[in-house]
Chain A
């Protein structure tokens, strides 16, 4: 099997109230990735466009975006798995290249969320769950993750302060990331402010435990081994890809202290790459809520089940720690424009492996991992990357 390499990465700045349309937003990540790859459109055989529907009026956005970035008449595909859309898009691009059907494919994710109010947005997201049997009870994303936080606390004695430490870490790096939506420092005292970060959302989660909705786009360009080596000075190789699904209704879940899709996708990706968790030098995990990062570090085997709180208390997930996690600010501080999130995580890992991550550069990493979850553990993608 020949390898598939990443030859270009890009993203827009993640913002509130993007002053443009989805095609204009998509263009920002596209142009960033094209400048990074130093290639022209004639090299690209196909596009995979990723977002989650109903945040804007446009139906079938793939054609609209492909036309705007000048990629007609190449084929274009629309991929949707809620918040993991663009890592699912990467899996499709990998398959298209590995099958030999195409030699170079672009994955472009986008989302404009801030045209809706927060409550409207929660209603849309709630309908990413079971609309017949759950949504009529008034569910929303923070509440679903709160169910997991409650179970984790009951099983392992995890404290709200442990979760707050995750937010403190993410803000440390959000401050350094020019493309992040939330660039303020956060400290534990802020979780005592009931009008601020300490405000209750869905027990036991508080305002500070939740990521910010944002508008943003991301772009990843992949190529077959021959092209990647010819075009790119520092190709980053896809070593392992895992993907899984789980019951949409909470009544169909076996446990609430972790996400089965994260465990299963991780198992597949490690097996394909032929590595174990201890080989990972830097990771981007899906921290839409603080508890999600804690569960991810456990589900990916960076620590034992229930070991997540100790990992953050010991600062092992900081840049200098044994397993740096979300040192670009994560979803919590960088922002979470759902269709763009996976691609943005991949961009961070690619820059880390190239040694081009600037202030957030981890020391000499050779293996990086991206963990991207769609819905409340409805979909899970884990992708492992390596350099030469």
Chain B
């Protein structure tokens, strides 16, 4: 009998992924389909981003996926001119937190934005988009709405 293959889909997330196995591995399939998804507890309706497999309020592990759509508000951002090992090829790059009301999203800002430090302002509207990193991994990033 063939050995059961370990589901390591999360290895495909980000420039460098630090872990491959999670109960939220479907997130990667959705990213491949161009969708950024969070989870919602079926029992209490709490929305989670980043997605979780379990809800500590209702003690339920019954969650459903929802798509992060529309626009959110830029809470803060920073452009890195120096990076950790493994990210040298991405520099410079910008990270940000965007508030969608029921939840917030942390991620990268689209590298197409040439001068993020002057073009971005805290409070402006942003949207999120699935995409690829320079090294072909899956990721999502923010664009101006």
Contacts and interface: CB of A to CB of B under 8 A. Distances in A.
Interface of A: 117, 119-120, 122-123, 126-127, 130-140, 142-143, 146-151, 154-155, 199-205, 249-253, 256
Interface string B20-45: 00100000000000000000000000
Contact of A137 (B77, B79, B81, B139): B139
Given A131-B18, A138-B93, A140-B83, A146 B78 contact: yes
B78 to A, nearest CB: 4
By CB atoms of chain B within 10 A, which of A122, A199, A250 has the most?
A250
Contacts of B85: 117, 119-120, 122-123
A202 B122 contact: no
Given A132-B50, A150-B122, A251-B50, A140 B84 contact: yes
Contact of A251 (B78, B83, B97, B117): B97
B82 A201 contact: yes
Nearest to B100: A251
B16 A135 contact: yes
Interface of B: 10, 13-19, 22, 49-50, 75-88, 90, 93, 95-97, 103-108, 117, 121-123, 137, 139
Contact of A134 (B49, B103, B106, B117): B106
A132 B82 CA distance: 21
Contacts of B84: 119, 122-123, 126, 138-140
Contacts of B95: 137-139, 143, 147
Given A136-B16, A137-B95, A203 B105 contact: no
Nearest to A131: B18
Contact of B18 (A119, A122, A132, A151): A132
Cβ-closest 3 pairs across A and B: A136-B14, A138-B87, A154-B122
A119 B96 CA distance: 21
A256 B75 contact: yes
Given A132-B50, A150-B77, A151-B75, A142 B82 contact: yes
B18 A150 contact: no
21 contacts: A117-B85, A122-B85, A123-B84, A132-B50, A137-B106, A140-B82, A140-B84, A143-B80, A146-B78, A147-B95, A148-B76, A150-B76, A199-B81, A200-B79, A202-B82, A203-B78, A203-B79, A204-B78, A249-B50, A251-B106, A256-B76
